[in-house]
């Protein structure tokens, strides 16, 4: 019996271990990572980090699974409002603020008060006013439909249609919004990825980005303006976003954006931060406080620590040298090759250190052959007598300055990152018989009247003096012979006069 009990416990433990391992695998498979980067310890059920300039996803965890956005909905509400109203226009709060669903009333407005659109947006985003969302939505539809008597209940589906149309334009195609402020509904959902796109568009509007970064606000509904008989109230709000600088969980580079909470959605946060040329957006779903603050900080730190904009190559930047095997005599046989375009992009440190550069030339290589090869009287060939295996690519002249010589490509793994032209830094002319003759003539003419030509002049002078001396000596010898011949006494002949 005891052995059976022990065996049962062991089997049960193995089953639990297998289930836990399977759960870990499932969780890991839903998280987006790049090679060379580690995990991020977050408790959110879904999260994402994107870079706003490129829209690139730096980290994702269940980023395409549907979630309830709660008050983060108000980001897209603000965008739609500014599509139809200017910030200085004035709205009057109406009866639409009444009859709010249980636990959604914020009780910050009174019927009949006047407020600028800018102030209403501050109430929407800083104070997270749900009745504010109703007022803004109603006035947008009344203007769009040109019907000042339309009710909120009639306006609500029309405004939801505008929200969904705007979301679709931003690429948030896996979302559906059916109210302006985040009232929980099975038909009101989005994803971390979609909401990041919306947050990105939100932060591109200077007024909305300014509001998102406010710690608090104090002022009246008309921002100091006077309108006769208008009901004006004073407001004082504190931003509940605890990741803003100097807040309890403040991050030094945070610039917004919006908190959210409903029981089904859990504690949520859309965050934005900027540092060292890098602008990041984070979305955190269902991370019980202080989890949403801590998760957002970790996601921001991950992005700023691992990513940066880097210049991969600059326009006109030296790439490498190539060897020209048939340049004209007297010209340098090494040619510098430059990149035609520049390219700067967002890369992780791992990607940057593991970039692969591929160079392809489109010029023909010339095999070495002998000069003046027998049987080729009318053609000129060159023997590559001084071949050195220096690792340089060997190309054939003629090549003109800025000539397209090939392609320079950069890869991250197997993915092409960027490609540009390779161009010649200078002109290299082709060697020929005529060019060789010109070189020799110019070399002689260039040296003969310089100090370098002095040895040649001395040699020529010595040779001339030698020839002159030899001629003079021969001439002198000839004259001496002639002199001796004419001045030498002539021998007398024997006389036969007295002979008998």
Domain residue spans of the chain: 28-306, 314-430
Least confident residue range of 127-136, 289-298, 367-376, 486-495: 367-376
Task: Taking residues 368-372, report their average pLDDT.
Answer: 40
Q: Does pLDDT of 1 surpass 50?
A: no
Average the pLDDT over 317-330 and give the result.
86
What CATH class is the domain 314-430?
Answer: mainly beta
Q: Which CATH architecture has domain 28-306?
A: 3-Layer(aba) Sandwich (3.40)
Lowest-confidence pick of 17-21, 100-104, 156-160, 213-217: 17-21
pLDDT given for residue 181 in this prediction: 97
pLDDT of residue 468: 87
Q: Give the pLDDT band (50/70/90) at residue 383.
A: very low
Strand partners, 309: 346
Of 343, 338, 399, 402, residue with least CA distance to 366: 399
Global confidence as pTM: 0.77
Of the two residues 169 and 330, the one the predictor is more confident about is: 169
């Amino acid at each position: 019996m005891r052995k059976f009990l022990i065996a049962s416990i062991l089997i049960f433990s193995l089953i639990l271990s297998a289930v836990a391992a399977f759960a870990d695998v499932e969780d890991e498979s839903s998280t987006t990572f790049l090679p060379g980067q580690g995990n991020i310890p977050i408790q959110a059920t879904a999260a994402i980090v994107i870079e706003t300039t490129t829209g690139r996803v730096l980290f994702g965890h269940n980023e395409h699974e549907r979630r309830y956005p709660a008050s983060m909905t108000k980001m897209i509400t603000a965008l739609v409002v500014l599509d139809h109203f200017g910030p200085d226009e004035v709205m009057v709060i109406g009866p639409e603020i009444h009859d709010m669903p249980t636990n959604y009333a914020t009780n910050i407005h009174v019927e009949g008060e006047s407020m600028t659109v800018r102030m209403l947006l501050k109430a929407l985003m800083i104070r997270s006013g749900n009745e504010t969302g109703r007022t803004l939505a109603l006035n947008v539809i009344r203007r769009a439909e040109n019907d000042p008597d339309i009710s909120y209940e009639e306006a609500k589906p029309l405004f939801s249609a505008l929200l969904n149309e705007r979301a679709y334009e931003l690429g948030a195609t896996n979302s559906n919004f059916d109210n302006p402020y985040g009232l929980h509904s099975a038909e009101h959902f989005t994803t971390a990825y979609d909401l990041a796109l919306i947050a990105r568009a939100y932060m591109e509007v200077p007024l909305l980005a300014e509001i998102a970064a406010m710690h608090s606000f104090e002022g009246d509904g008309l921002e100091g303006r006077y309108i006769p008989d208008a009901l004006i109230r004073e407001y004082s709000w504190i931003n509940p976003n605890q990741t803003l600088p100097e807040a309890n969980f403040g991050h030094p580079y945070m610039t917004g954006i919006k908190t959210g909470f409903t029981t089904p959605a859990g504690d949520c946060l859309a965050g934005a931060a900027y540092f060292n040329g890098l602008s990041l957006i984070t979305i955190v779903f269902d991370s019980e406080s202080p989890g949403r603050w801590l998760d957002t900080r970790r996601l921001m730190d991950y992005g700023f620590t691992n990513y940066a904009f880097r210049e991969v190559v600059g326009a006109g930047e030296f790439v490498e040298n190539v060897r020209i095997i048939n340049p004209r005599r007297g010209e340098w046989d090494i040619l510098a090759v430059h990149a035609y375009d520049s390219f700067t992009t967002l890369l992780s440190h791992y990607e940057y250190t593991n970039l692969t550069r591929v160079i392809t030339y489109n010029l023909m290589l010339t095999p070495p052959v002998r000069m003046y090869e027998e049987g080729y009287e009318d053609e000129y060939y060159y023997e590559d007598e001084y071949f050195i295996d220096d690792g340089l690519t060997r190309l054939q002249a003629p090549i003109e300055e800025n000539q397209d010589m090939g392609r320079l490509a950069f890869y991250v793994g197997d993915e092409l990152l960027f490609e540009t032209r390779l161009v010649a830094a200078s002109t290299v002319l082709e060697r020929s018989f005529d060019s060789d003759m010109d070189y020799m003539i110019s070399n002689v003419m260039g040296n003969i009247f310089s100090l370098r030509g002095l040895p040649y002049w001395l040699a020529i002078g010595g040779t001339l003096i030698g020839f002159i001396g030899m001629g003079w000596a021969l001439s002198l010898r000839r004259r001496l012979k002639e002199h001796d011949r004419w001045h030498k006494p002539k021998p007398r002949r024997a006389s036969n006069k007295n002979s008998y």
